[in-house]
Chains A and B, each alone.
Chain A
Amino acid sequence: MLRTRGWIEAWLLLVPGFVFLIAFTHVPALVTIWNSFFTTPRGRRPARWAGLENYETLLSDPTFWKVLKNNALYAAGTIPLSIGIALVMALWVNRQLAGRGLVRMAYFTPTVLPMIAVANIWMFFYTPGFGLIDQIGAALGLGQTNILGSADTALWGVMVVTIWKEAGFFMIFYLAALQTIPPSLVEAARIEGAGGWTIFRRITLPLLMPTTLFVSINAVVNSFRMVDHIFILTGGGPDNASSLLLFYIYEVAFRFWDTAYGATLTVVLLAFLMILAIGQFVLFDRRVHYR
């Protein structure tokens, strides 16, 4: 009797959280999967069962393959670079340094800014003719550029902005992790004759592995999730050259109002994210030492 009451009480306490989680996360996710098997309802024509039709359309959709390729390139370019830069910056601001607090703050500033603001700042750099890059280029006698306007370079331009924004955020995690490594470990390694590079490779880096796992999962999720700056910088163009999967989903669902196909694309995106996250855990598991 008493146990039943405790049980009921526990559930009552869990309910408020569950209601929001179910209403705004789990139900929409399930509805999305359900919708992906129907046609898009239009006007007086209601949605009808379509089976795998939407998925067949997806496989033969050249834009889908293009944004998928873009996204793969975007992830492969931004993840290692932003993590690498974050680590270097963290190591740098972790030492005794005049004005250390100022440098830390400067590195962290991009994280605080909204992505839309970041994109606008970078517009001042990229704008052909009178942007910062072209002004410096002109001073050096170089010609005018149009990085965001040409299909070959637009995606790279977007990637640079992402790295700039993400590195400072990841740096904070590395910095926190670095400060939990006892200095006596480094001292012991120095006594044993290890140089700076050996200490980094054999002591610091392995002890940072839990952080690296955490940061890299975040980076992977972000590479599929962060598209705000594309709206400002390129709008996905030219000719989808800088469009990513989520940006394409937005366009399909809310610009072309093909909600069923949007749901189908979303299911694919969620499947990708799940596979990648699980894959990372498996890949890192043996190499991560948790304290």
Chain B
Amino acid sequence: MEKEFRTLSTTAILGYGFPLESFESGLAKQPDLIAADAGSTDPGPYYLGAGVSFTDRNSVKRDLKLMLLAGKSRKIPVIVGTAGGSGAEPHLEWCLDIVREIAQEEKISLRVALIHAEFDKNMILEEWKAGRVKSLEPAPELTEEAILSSEHIVGQMGIEPFIKALELDCDLILAGRSYDPAVFAALPVKLGFDRGLALHLGKILECAAICASPGSGSDCIFGTLGTDWFELEALSPKRKCTTTSVAAHTLYEKSNPYLLPGPGGMLDLRGCSFTDVGNGKVRVKGSKFVPAPKYTIKLEGTHCVGYRTISIAGTRDPIMIREIDATVTAVKERVADNFRDQKWDYHLNFILYGKDGVMGALEPERNNIRSHELGIVIEAVAETQKLADTVCAFARSTMLHYGYPGRIATAGNLAFPFSPSDFHAGPVYEFSVYHLLECDDPVKPFRIETIEL
């Protein structure tokens, strides 16, 4: 009989949840691996920089507990990548703490392989000086300042560190920042399955049931890998995989669906076919992995650019709405003038919902207000939280009482939904590093340790 490898992917992001019924259907199919990706850069630069997860602790614990108990009792390895959402040291530690709690509460012993993915800034600086860090178009060229100012720099590990960790015979592999498909592809590749097919399958499994119709990021999906094919099937009766839903997923969040670069090479899907084989299963063939001449690891880093305070308000006055641009300009000028003796460096911005608030520069109907009301977010970012508070509060009070031309309502220009009207949004981060690091050994930069719980 042909050799097959079966994978249960539980959820698109650890903590997004999954129905117990789907999970049990998946377990009934005798998986060889239970895995989930736990991260994304989609929520923006804050989470990597601040060292916090964008997923909720209780939700992550719920998902992880079910996966660990099932894995432990059935002796199936559990693999989680990009722990804590961003996969730097604090994220990995956060997730390990949840695992520790589960082990204690459920009274189970767990052997955990921890794979670290945070990079030393000075090491990156040396590599950059040696010309081994390349720009990833259209990211700007790296600078010494960008490297050293970064709060955390992580590298996306490929399948190799996982393969190494799999030799340690652990119940759980918990990894820092990982190339999303790696958690699914490492074990089958180790067992001799085709790397191109395993990675392409991993690319689809990492988003769980988003590849089904109707799609869902909080439902399980099942993948079976054969010699020269793989199949996907949904585990909930509510959805099924179709050739279109699976093919469409190949497009998702990618610039080019045919050539997908990753650690160590390119996934070439130009010769791919998607076939409906009945029973809600879709079979994929023809995915190829083309090794790159040099192995590269994608680096991500973010740095703090200040602290943010915001104020939320609205206006329902048609004259104020007509005069909104002049009002915003006048308020900005008044703030600058009032504190002109201070050498303050701040960013004061007004997001106007109802007037290009969602699309900004890309809005084709710019300056065309059709709403009877506008939502206003006043945003101040400055060197300290206190200074951001000052700028935001002064802009808010100035806007509240500003005498725009034609004004009839002289008691106040803004409707505040909340008291207090101003809110701390804390430190603000921007991406500082989004580059490729050349490396000779894809395992070495990622330290692996085993922990007995």
Question: Bound pair: A and B?
Answer: no
